[in-house]
Homo-oligomer: A and B are copies of this chain.
Amino acid sequence: MTVTRAECVALDAADPLGRFRDLFHLPAGMIYMDGNSMGAQPLQTRARMRAIVEEEWPEHLVTGWLADNWMDSPRRCGDLVAQLVGAAVGEVVIADSTSVCLFKLLSAALQLRPDRNVILTDTANFPTDLYVAQGLVAASAGGVSLRIVPTEQIPEALTDDVAVLMLTHVDYRTAFMHDMDAVTKAAHAAGALMLWDLSHSTGAVEVDLGRAGADLAVGCGYKYLNGGPGAPAFLYIAAQHQEHMQNVIAGWLGHASPFTFEQTYAPAPGIARMVSGSPPVMAIVALQSAVEVTLDAGMSALRRKSVELTDLFIALVDELCEGTGAEIASPRNSALRGSHVAVRHEYGYGVVRAMAERGVIGDFRDPDIARFAMTPLYTSYADVFDAVAHLAAVLHAGEHLDPAHRVRNAIT
C-alpha cells in the first residue's frame, strides 16, 4: 500500500498547517473537496459579519463610510490579496464579479494597444472568459476580434495584431497550470499584453505577477479565497500601466474627487479608478476575513502541502482504482498542476453523485470529469485517504451506475 490511513493521521499530527483546519467550519460527517468551486468558511468570518451587520451598519449608518472606513475597503482588501499574488501595494483592488472585472481589463487593454485588435486565448479557457471577450467583440461591430486556439498553438498565434493574450492560469477542468513566467515573456516578445485569470490559482498555488512581469489579472473571491457565495472579485494592473488605462465603466467611486459631484469624469490616480459604483461593503468584510487566514498560513507552505495532498490523491487512485475505468486527467507532474485533481470516468457524473451520498463532496464537469480539490488550509491527509477509499468503494461496488444518478443536476 502506498500509505496507510494511520500514516495519514500521523502526517496530519505533524503538519505545521494542521492548526488552520480548526479555524474553519467544516460540516460534520462531510469530506469537502469542492473548495475550488466554493470555499469553506473561516470561523472569524462570523465574528466579522456580526460586527458589520449588528453594529457598524445599524449604529453608524451613513457615517460608517468614513468612521469604519468602508470607502477604502476595496483597496485595503486588495492590498492583502496583492500579497498572495506577488503584486505590490496599490496594484490590486476588489470590485464587481470576475466577469465584470475581466470586461474592464480587456477593454482597457484594447485601449492601450490601439494599433492591435485581437484578443488571443486558448480553447481550455474558462467559458465565462470567452463569453466576456465575445461580448466585447459583438459590441465593437468589427473593431475587435477574438482568436481561440488550442493551448499548444499559442506561440504561432501570437502575431503582431494581438493586443492581449488572456489565459486562465490553472485549468478549471484538468488543473493544468501554465508556466506564467514563460508565457508572459512570449506575449511580451510579440508586443502583446498578458492578462491572467487567477480564479483557480489565488490561494491555491504560488503566483508572482511581479516576477512574471504580468500586465493584468483578475481572480475570484469565493473559490480558494473562501470569501463566501458570490464574493466580489479582484483585479490587478501593473503599476506602470495604471495611469494609461481607463475604466470603461466610469463610475463615481473611480472619480478623482467623488464627493465634489462634478459633471465631468476624471479618473482617480492609480488602481482606484477601476472601481465603478459603491463597494459591496459586507461582502468585502467577509472576503477580507478569509484572505487574512490564507496570508497567515503563507502561500509557500500552502503550496507545499497542496502538492503533497494532490500527489497522495493521485498515488492512491492509481493503486486503489485500478481496473475501474477511472484515470487521472490532471498532470502527473505537480509543477504543471494546480490544487485539484481531475478523475476521468465514463460515468463521471454518477461517480460524483455516489461519492456525495457517502459524504464526499466533489463536482462534475462535462463530459466526464470528476473534480476533487485539495485545499491545504482545511483538507487533511486523512481526508485524502478517506476520499479515495470512498471513490474506490463506489467504483468497485458499481454505485456510480445507480440509475438515480443519470439525471444531471447542474452544479455538483
Contacts and interface: CB of A to CB of B under 8 A. Distances in A.
Interface of A: 25, 27, 30, 32, 34, 37-38, 40-41, 45-46, 49-50, 52-54, 57-66, 70-71, 96-100, 103, 107, 111, 123, 126-128, 130-132, 134-136, 138-139, 148, 222, 228-233, 246-253, 255, 258-265, 276-284, 286, 361, 363, 365-366, 409-412
A59 B27 contact: yes
Contact of A46 (B38, B53, B71, B98): B53
Contacts of A25: 58-59
Nearest to A362: B62
6 contacts: A57-B229, A66-B412, A230-B280, A280-B280, A280-B283, A282-B282
B53 A97 contact: no
Given A128-B252, A246-B138, A282 B276 contact: no
Contacts of A255: 127, 131
A246 B139 CA distance: 9
A261 B61 contact: no
Nearest to A280: B230
Which A-B residue pairs are the 3 nearest by beta carbons? A97-B277, A135-B250, A99-B251
A135 B265 contact: yes
B128 A251 contact: yes
Given A63-B361, A128-B277, A280-B280, A99 B53 contact: no
Nearest to A128: B252
Given A59-B27, A61-B38, A259-B410, A97 B96 contact: yes
A230 B278 contact: yes
Given A38-B62, A66-B412, A259-B411, 14 more contacts: A27-B61, A40-B58, A40-B61, A71-B411, A99-B252, A99-B276, A127-B255, A135-B265, A229-B278, A230-B278, A232-B280, A258-B410, A282-B283, A282-B286
Contact of A278 (B32, B222, B280): B222
Contact of A62 (B139, B148, B265, B361): B361
A365 B261 CA distance: 8
Contacts of A277: 96-100, 128, 230, 233
A100 B276 contact: yes
A248 B107 CA distance: 11
Contact of A53 (B49, B138, B253): B49
A11 to B, nearest CB: 24
A204 to B, nearest CB: 16
B54 A46 contact: yes
A232 to B, nearest CB: 7
Given A32-B61, A53-B49, A59-B27, A70 B250 contact: no
A93 B98 CA distance: 19
Contacts of A363: 62
Contacts of A410: 66, 258-259
Contacts of A32: 61
Nearest to A139: B248
Contact of A279 (B52, B138, B230, B253): B230
Given A58-B25, A252-B99, A261-B365, A247 B63 contact: no
Which of A148, A255, A259, A262: most chain B CB closer than 10 A? A259
A273 to B, nearest CB: 11
B100 A249 contact: yes
A182 B410 CA distance: 46
Most B CB contacts (10 A, CB to CB) among A25, A50, A278 go to A278
A249 to B, nearest CB: 5
Contacts of A222: 278
